[in-house]
Amino acid sequence: MNRLFRWSSTGCLLLLLVGAVAAADPVITGTNSSTLARSGRLSITGTGFGTAGTVLIAGLPALDSAWTDARIVAYVPEEAPLGATEIVVDAGGQQSNAVPLTVTTRQADGRVNWIFEIDSEYLYYRPAQAPDGTLYVHARGTGGSGQGRIFAVAPDGALLWIYKDLPGSAYVPPAAGPDGAVYAGTLDTLYRISPAGELDWTFQGGLNIQSGAVVGPDGTVYAGFEHPPEAVALDPATGALIWSNSPGLSAYGTGGNEARLGRSAPGGPYDRFYLWWDQLGAFSLDGDHLFTTTAGNIYDHEVAVGSDGTLYTPVLWDDDLGALSPFNGDTLWVETGPWNVVSSDVEIGPDDMLYFVGTSSWLEAFDPYTRTSKWRRDVGYYLRRPSLSPDGTTLLTGAGGTCNTPNGDCVIAFIKAFDTTNGDELWHIDLDEVWDPEFRSITWDHGRVSADSRTAYFTGFILGYGDANDEHSLLWSVQLVDGAIFADGFESGDTSAWTETVP
């Protein structure tokens, strides 16, 4: 009896001790910086954080994107007062020690308006942008979690909200609807997140989502999946299936493109929906399958849609530039130019001028009506796909940087702007110089240019970051229009207004 009592007493004592350890106050042992701007990324290390809680900065709750017992990532509230303040972690009602933090405003660096640090291992797709300018980035969780997140960032770089309940990283680029909602695809599901950061609905399609959503003139949402249903049209309010069509498009591991809408007649309404993987499939907005074509080999290239509906894309194993009919997909013409290989998707201007990268480092402007080159520039480095301002005046391109040069030197990643009238370089930004010279930062996808043609947004990530547990990526805001001459010695060009919007 006494023996049983002794065991019971010991067991109770152990439970009390375990409970005391579990209820121990959280302790902050370090942060990534003692000075951060509003909406700056704060990485906190310590013990006893548990699995959830609140980070308080100047007594204000901060949005967090990652929370473990030993590490938290949060963002400085926009409402935080400037100057000296304190960080406290509240874990289940238990508050940590206070750690000092100096809060500042975001500062522009030449042509770079701001850089937002995103808690993500990498970013492969450009941001979506809502009509009010809000940027949406679909990020991948850090620390091997693979959990997906949507970051909503205002045009001035302020963090608005974080949606943390996606099961995976971005399979396709995010898309924004006319009402400000964002459509994100991962695994076999398309998600609609409201402008306030709340889940509206999900649609589960085939094996993998293969094409980012595109919103039609009446708000209908179109997307594509690897297995049936392949092409789908969804009600934007409920996510209910309006129609689906599965003509047997082949993916073979490709995907991750932005879908397209197009016209079948000059000045006519948008009446075509295009999906492509190693084939191009065309559908009417009523769900009819119009045609499928390989066009030699489109293979994972996005098509550019002209004002008269003509489709432009690399064809014949990427070597040549082709024009396709919007009625039946037949090849209208194929142009083999001095570029040797069309190595990027084709960007199209409001005047139907075509822009693309040829043989890795050549930037080409091509007139599809005369089928002649307007200008070409050898930039000298491997280039990403170009992006064009909506007013058609500025062409942007970037290079990811490399250390594979013959002498072993590293080429710093950059963004360049060119005048579309003659191909002259307008300005140049070395990304590492405006981020951190100790680390190599690179862009990946082409830029997203604002509707007013004044700002471009690029996503990228950091190579060789010292702390594998604190990996993060970057969103750059770059000013396109300014009459001032910056320290890099280049002067920006003029722009004009072009108000037409194309889905």
- 3-class DSSP string for 289-339: EEEEECCCCCCCCCCEECCCCCEEEEECCCCEEEEECCCCCCEEEEECCCC
User: How many whole angstroms separate alpha carbon 374 and alpha carbon 323?
Assistant: 17
Q: DSSP character for 172?
A: S
Contact 138, 150 (CB under 8 A): yes
Half-sphere exposure (Cβ direction) of 168: Cα atoms closer than 13 Å: 11
Does the structure show a pLDDT above 70 at 249? Answer: yes
Does the structure show a pLDDT above 90 at 180? Answer: yes
Contact 331, 323 (CB under 8 A): yes
Element (H, E) at 148: strand 148-153
Instruction: With CA atoms as reference, report the closest residue to 153 among 132, 179, 175, 178.
Output: 132
CA distances, 204 to each of 237, 283, 297, 339, 471 (Å): 16, 20, 29, 42, 31
Contact 125, 459 (CB under 8 A): yes
Report the relative pairing of strands 35-37 and 99-104 from DSSP bridges.
Answer: parallel
Q: What is the per-residue pLDDT across 27-62, written as a single tens digit (0 to 9) for each?
A: 999 999 999 999 999 999 999 999 999 999 999 999
- Give the per-residue SS3 of 51-79: CCCEEEECCEEEEEEEECCCEEEEECCCC
Contact 201, 217 (CB under 8 A): no
Virtual CA dihedral for 459, 465, 467, 470, nearest 10 degrees?
0
Residue recorded with tokens 């009919």:
325
Q: What is the per-residue pLDDT across 480-493, written as a single tens digit (0 to 9) for each?
A: 987 443 333 333 22
Identify the residue with better confidence: 81 or 316.
Answer: 81
User: How many whole angstroms separate alpha carbon 45 and alpha carbon 36?
Assistant: 16
Instruction: With CA atoms as reference, report the closest residue to 339 among 283, 379, 302, 310.
Output: 379
Contact 48, 25 (CB under 8 A): yes
How confident is the model over 311-328, as a mean pLDDT?
A: 86
Q: DSSP character for 380?
A: S
Residue recorded with tokens 């990652």:
66
- The domain at 22-104 falls in which architecture? Sandwich (2.60)
Residue 185: its pLDDT value, please? 94
Range name among 204-208, 383-387, 419-423, 462-466 with the lowest pLDDT average: 462-466
Does the structure show a pLDDT above 70 at 14? Answer: no
Mean pLDDT of all residues belonging to the chain: 84
Q: What is the domain partition of the chain in residue ranges? A: 22-104
Does the structure show a pLDDT above 90 at 422? Answer: yes
The two structure tokens encoding residue 358: 């040829």
Which pLDDT band, with edges at 50, 70 and 90, does 387 fall under?
very high
Instruction: With CA atoms as reference, report the closest residue to 31 among 131, 121, 103.
Output: 103
Does the structure show a pLDDT above 60 at 466? Answer: no
How confident is the model over 436-455, as a mean pLDDT?
A: 83
pTM, rounded to two decimals:
0.89
Residue 488: its pLDDT value, please? 36
Residue 381: its pLDDT value, please? 73
- Give the per-residue SS3 of 436-449: CCCCEEEECCCCEE
Does the structure show a pLDDT above 70 at 67? Answer: yes
The two structure tokens encoding residue 87: 């960080």
Starting at the edge strand found earlier in the chain, the sheet holding 304-305 runs 304-305, 311-315, 320-324, 331-335
CA distances, 152 to each of 124, 183, 193, 238, 302 (Å): 17, 12, 10, 22, 26
Does the structure show a pLDDT above 50 at 258? Answer: yes
Does the structure show a pLDDT above 90 at 116? Answer: yes
Tell me if residue 10 falls in helix, strand or coil.
helix
Q: Which residues contact 165 (CB under 8 A, 6 or more apart)?
A: 199
Does the structure show a pLDDT above 90 at 315? Answer: no
Percent of the chain with pLDDT over 90: 59
Residue 93: its pLDDT value, please? 93
User: How many whole angstroms separate alpha carbon 495 and alpha carbon 482?
Assistant: 10
Element (H, E) at 84: strand 83-91
Residue 503: its pLDDT value, please? 35
User: How many whole angstroms separate alpha carbon 430 and alpha carbon 414?
Assistant: 5
Residue 282: its pLDDT value, please? 94
The two structure tokens encoding residue 58: 């100047």
